[in-house]
Each structure stands twice: as C-alpha cells, then as structure tokens.
Structure 1
C-alpha cells in the first residue's frame, strides 16, 4: 500500500522522498547531530536521497565547499547565532541550490520537485533560492535570521 501511495503522489511532482531524508532532517532539527544535510535527486530511483551530512562542528565554509559547483541540490543548514539580547538561537534554512552553469534538465527537475520535498521537512524557518555562492553568503543567512 505504501508503494502505491508513493507512486500516486509522484504523479504531480515526479519525485518521491526517501524515508531516510526525514530521519536525517529530524536528527539535525531535534538532536543537533548535523550542521547541514545535502540532498540530491536520484533519477534512477526517482526520489530525493541524502547525499552528504556535515557534523555539528563543521563550519559554513565546509557546507559551501560540499555543494557542487555545477549541479543542483537541496540543502538544509542549521544556522546558530546570538541575538542582540545575547541569546543563543538556531534557525533552519532550506536551500534550493541551482547554479546557473548546471544542466537545464537538472534545473527543471529540481524546480518541479522542490515544493513536495520542502513540505516533507516540517520545521524549516527560511528558504533561500541560490544560483551562485554570492546569493548564499553567511551574511545572507544572518540577515534573514535576525
């Protein structure tokens, strides 16, 4: 029955979402095990899968280095910051990474599957669409989080 449900919901978006994606997201959100998670679309499986996770001690630079320069990805980044009141806070960003040099087919596939995948991740605070590293600078996250 689960397979039947999954394939029928795929009809509108084209891609399913591996259960593992939600589990890893919850580890980032609740247990703070990961600083970031990078997801990719596996065209053979026709679903979004986890490509890479970054440990809690990894930096924003580590995250940026992990994103491919010429291919699309979805990513979740757990951004820690201190408020003006000196409170430690954390905001979760959903990032749709679509470099301008990536294949047209990849851009289309990621664009048409984004909403369904994004809905699976309950608890994301902000969403960023980026086509090059300047649109995904740490200052962009800092400005959005405040």
Structure 2
C-alpha cells in the first residue's frame, strides 16, 4: 500500500528525489526558531521509508562541540544550528544555520541522495539564514560559523 495514501498529512513527496519530509521535521524546526526549545536538530534520510526524519535534538544548553560530535563521521546528515553571538557593536544576535554534512568517507549513493534532496528539504524549513556545505569538520569549525554569522 502506498504511504502517501495512508498518511497524506505526514508526507509530501519530493518530485526530484522521491524523498518525503516528515511533519515532525518542520514542527521541531519551528520550535527551535520561535521558542528556542533546541540548540540544534540533526535530520536523517530514512532510505527505506523514503523520508527525512528528526534523528537528534540538542538541548538549549548544549555547545557547538556537542552538536558537531552528534554528526556521524562517515554518514551524511542535514542539520540546523541556532548560533548565538555578539556583534562588534556589542549586540546579542542569533543566526540559524543549515548544514549539509556530507563527509568524504560516506557512501556515494548516500551523498547523491542527500545532494538531490537538499534544496527541497531546505525550502520546508522557513527561516534559515545561513547555509553551509561541509565534507570534513574543518569546513564547519566554530571559526567558520562565526565568520559566516556576521
């Protein structure tokens, strides 16, 4: 039986890759954006179900190091991170980063699926301010995040 018929409210097919976005992804993102309930969210593509799901939620007290440690070393993921910083004018600010994590050591098929689904998935998350593509940890180091935030 087709999942799109059984759960029409949960899934929306992505024409480009056939990937669906679970409603929970949008819901948790809205909570991060509006209520600051989470510091970060890690999203995973479930290939068998052909959908993007929430894999991990970071508590507001967790650090950037906690976030980077939650990304698998050899598997692709999408993530959003709510980065707080102080401007040169001493103003407290925040930027929501979308990170496409695609390590060199991940499977080619996985890289292709994540790459072909990225734009459609990102459009589902309204309010992303900065996008980052990373293939190794140095490309998304805290110094990179700080320079892209301002």
TMscore range, shorter length: over 0.9
- Structure number with higher helix proportion: 1
Over the aligned positions, Cα root-mean-square deviation in angstroms equals 1.8
Q: Any gaps of 5 or more consecutive residues in structure 2?
A: none
Identify which of 74, 77, 80 aligns with 2:78.
74
Normalising to structure 1: TM-score of the pair? 0.94
Normalising to structure 2: TM-score of the pair? 0.92
- Who is 1:83 aligned against? 87
- Who is 2:46 aligned against? 42
Q: What is the alpha-carbon distance in structure 2 between the residues aligned to residue 29 and residue 7 of structure 1?
A: 22
4+ long deviations beyond 6 Å = 4-8
Asked whether the equivalents of residues 14 and 112 of structure 1 are also in contact (C-alpha less than 8 Å), the reply is no
Rate the CA distance shift 1:59–1:82 in 2: closer, same or farther, 3 A.
same
Instruction: Give 1:75 deviation, angstroms.
Output: 0.2
Identify which of 107, 128, 143 aligns with 2:147.
143
Rate the CA distance shift 1:43–1:60 in 2: closer, same or farther, 3 A.
same
Rate the CA distance shift 1:7–1:122 in 2: closer, same or farther, 3 A.
closer
Q: How many residues align?
A: 146
